[in-house]
Amino acid sequence: MHAALKNTVRWLAPVLAGATFVAANLAAPATAQTTFKMAYALSQQSHYGAAGEAFAKTLEEGSGGRLKVQQFPNSALGGEREVIEGLQLGTIDLAVLSTGATMNFVPAAGVFDVPFLLRDLDHARHVLDSEIGQDMLKEFGKRGLVALAWGEQGFRHLTNNVRPVVTPADAKGLKIRTTENQLHIAAFRQIGILPTPMAWPEVTTALQQGTIDGQENPLSVITSAKLSQVQKYLSLTGHVYAPAVIIASPSAYERLSAEDKALMQQAGKNAGQAMRDFVSHVEQAGVEQLKAEGMAVNTVDREAFAQAVEPVYKEYNRRFDPKLIERIRNTQ
């Protein structure tokens, strides 16, 4: 029996040692490296990618390598609606999103998408940096999203394969892809455009096949998505300013220490600034790039377009506080 007992103890020793090792590790403090999944719709060479790089660099350097970001560009984790749902569920940690998608979840933020409300980039940036914009970020918390900062895409312009668009009459009858943004859709219908909501990953194929005539996006998207390969005409309508927003999942954000939350907030601000820097550059160089790539580029009668959509402002004033619209319009 004594020999059998010795054999049993010899057999149990490594098992007990392993159990002790596991228990010790379970009890250890959570100082291990954490990697967050960040999703966005465009390539890493886009303004979205610039945001992703700035965010990742800030978080990693600020935490001494403890907090990292794995980027999933090109809608690798789904379209923007799926990404928002993933943020709410906690299956996605971070995202850079267009307000066209977030409007269905945070309707109040859609006020920045009212056509011809924001005059130029300086005006738009002042509004978003003001109390108006910062209060709007807090609205996202009511829908299970942590809005860290505003990003930017720039002013949206029209491209198509049928004809140059100079006046509203030229745009009538064109089948144009839009986001699921009811503010944009109402304005396009007023002009006589046939708006066609479509998820971004489907757009290039639809343009190639002629399912749609064109689309509308900022120069930052038109250049980075290489739309010059599938579109003939670019009309610089500047009809809508397109913000973006850098979002965290509450399940990822709330488990952070106060110090790490502050670091993530700073990462969001740096990401937003990186997008602005990208847009400022592409606004200068993008038109010449697209011309060199074969697109025919023209300016438009912007005042005629603004007057054409004026009747839709009755709907905008019902949807949003008219005083808020006026405050935005009057921001210097």
What is the model's pLDDT at position 7?
46
Kindly state whether residue 13 falls inside one of the protein's structural domains. Answer: no
pLDDT mean over 142-164: 96
Chain centre to alpha carbon of residue 107: 16
If one compares 284 and 320, the residue with the highest pLDDT of the two is 320
pLDDT mean over 315-332: 94
The closest of 200, 206, 155 to 178, measured between CA atoms, is: 200
Helix intervals (H) in 151-239: 168-171, 182-191, 203-209, 219-224
Kindly state whether residue 3 falls inside one of the protein's structural domains. Answer: no
Kindly state whether residue 89 falls inside one of the protein's structural domains. Answer: yes
HSE-up (13 A, CA, CB side) for residue 218? 29
User: Please, which pLDDT band fits residue 31 given cuts at 50, 70 and 90?
Assistant: low
CB 215 within 8 A of CB 227: yes
**210 in the Ramachandran plot: left (φ > 0), alpha (ψ -120 to 50) or beta?**
left
The closest of 178, 175, 181 to 114, measured between CA atoms, is: 181
Could you tell me the two tokens for 309? 């959509």
Kindly state whether residue 17 falls inside one of the protein's structural domains. Answer: no
Structural domain count, the chain: 1
pLDDT mean over 225-232: 96
Kindly state whether residue 324 falls inside one of the protein's structural domains. Answer: yes
CA–CA separation, 159 and 93 (whole Å): 34
Q: What is the pTM for the complete model shown?
A: 0.82
Angle between helix 121-129 and helix 131-139 axes, rounded to 10 deg: 60
What is the model's pLDDT at position 101?
84
pLDDT above 70 for 199: yes
Kindly state whether residue 22 falls inside one of the protein's structural domains. Answer: no
First-to-final CA distance of the chain: 92
Question: Strand, coil or helix: what is 95?
Answer: strand
Per residue in 240-278, pLDDT (tens digit) is: 998 999 999 999 999 999 999 999 999 999 999 999 999
Question: Residue 202 maps to which CATH number?
Answer: 3.40.190.170
Kindly state whether residue 9 falls inside one of the protein's structural domains. Answer: no
Full domain range(s) for residue 38: 34-330
Average pLDDT, the chain: 90
Kindly state whether residue 192 falls inside one of the protein's structural domains. Answer: yes
CB 99 within 8 A of CB 113: yes
Residue 86: Cβ within 10 Å count: 18
